[in-house]
Structure 1
Amino acid sequence: MVLGSTEEPFATTADPPKGAARTAERRGYEVPVERGSQGALLERRRSGWRGRLHTTLELIRANPTGRVALKIFIGILGAVIVTVGIALIPLPGPGWLLVIAGLGVWAVEFHWARRLLAFTRRNVQAWTRWVTSRSLPVRFLLGAVGLVFVSVVVWLSLKYSLGIDVVARLLHYLATH
């Protein structure tokens, strides 16, 4: 086969250049699928809802207007989720989880968010490994410190946001009863 022939776009090269397979698929060429362990993994990963989502995003990105609209939509959706998450951080609930979920939404379209999400995953996994390698009393101590921290944050946010001083009301109740 001759390189550049219209029969098979990558017949003479072992690894096509990055993005070339995607371009060939868009133009209607059949792109050979690797049958090694990575190829099978990619094929499995792209099946189901993830595959449909990936295909839909690629179709949207194929059009310049769609690409800009997708960036704007992903940017706004991620900002809303992150903002709600940040507002919920001081309260008991899924504040940090929502911030990380919003970061995951941004990571669909923005490279900096992908890097920040990977950094977050690495550090959370390292923290989890470190905590689980400690003895049970140390883990209980870490849990107690975390519980005290969350309790103080909830108390302060109730006191200064809503004007409810739980500690003063509790002390008043104990003094009168």
Structure 2
Amino acid sequence: MPKQQRGRRGPGTPGDAPTGGGTAVAERRGGRLRQRISTTLDLIRANPTGRVALKIFIAVAGAIVVTVGIALIPLPGPGWLLVIAGLGVWAVEFHWARRLLAFTRRHVHAWTRWATSRSLPVRLVLGSVGLVFVATVVWLSLKYSLGIDLVAGVLHYLATH
């Protein structure tokens, strides 16, 4: 592009987004979606019946997501992620949930920054401790909820073969 035309680009022309044109389009779509959701929620809240119905719906939906997340915490999988997602659902309507979600985000980010700033051996120890914890939780969950004792089964197998 010639030098005199470089400054003449309008918003949304190729080359504006530093990471590529697709990112800018996705951000605009995401912004429009957020605006549409915000407008819809404001319209619902403008009506007293809608406000009560929205609070009930958000409370029930958040409770379902949090309950499923709590049930999945002892198992390997997205238990804590679902609890935090349920908190995000509640944060749409409840101030206490917004504060708790902000508190959680701050502490997760602080923990992540701390863990990633450590040396490789320390991160390996942290990962190993996490894996041992998850393995212990899975073993205890299987043993006490389903009656399956993996450790005893493996020890019996090793003793007989």
d(CA) in 2 for partners of 1:47, 1:165 = 51
Q: Once superposed, which parts of structure 1, at least 4 consecutive aligned residues long, lie more than 2 Å away?
A: 44-47
Larger relative helix fraction: 2
- In structure 1, the partner of 2:122 is 138
Q: Which consecutive residues of structure 1, in runs of 5 or more, have no partner in the other structure? A: 1-43
Q: Where do residues 21-32 of structure 1 align in structure 2 (5 Å cutoff)?
A: none
Aligned partner of 1:105 in structure 2 is 89
Aligned equivalents of 1:46, 1:95: Cα separation in 2: 27
**What residue in structure 1 maps to residue 36 of structure 2?**
52
Offset of residue 145 of structure 1: 0.4
* Cα deviation, residue 57, structure 1: 0.4
TM-score (norm 2): 0.81
Query: Percent same amino acid among aligned pairs?
Result: 82
Q: Distance in 2 between matches of 1:54 and 1:174?
A: 61
Q: Indicate the RMSD between aligned Cα atoms, in angstroms.
A: 1.3
Match of 2:100 among 113, 116, 132: 116
Alignment correspondent of 2:66: 82
Alpha-carbon distance in structure 2 between the residues aligned to 1:89 and 1:62: 38
Partner of 2:75, secondary structure, is: coil
The Cα shift of 1:176 comes to 1.2
Residue 150 (structure 2) aligns with: 166
What amino acid is the match of 1:173? Y
Instruction: Confirm or deny that 1:66 pairs with 2:50.
Output: yes
Higher RCO, 1 vs 2 (CA within 8 Å, ≥6 residues apart): 2
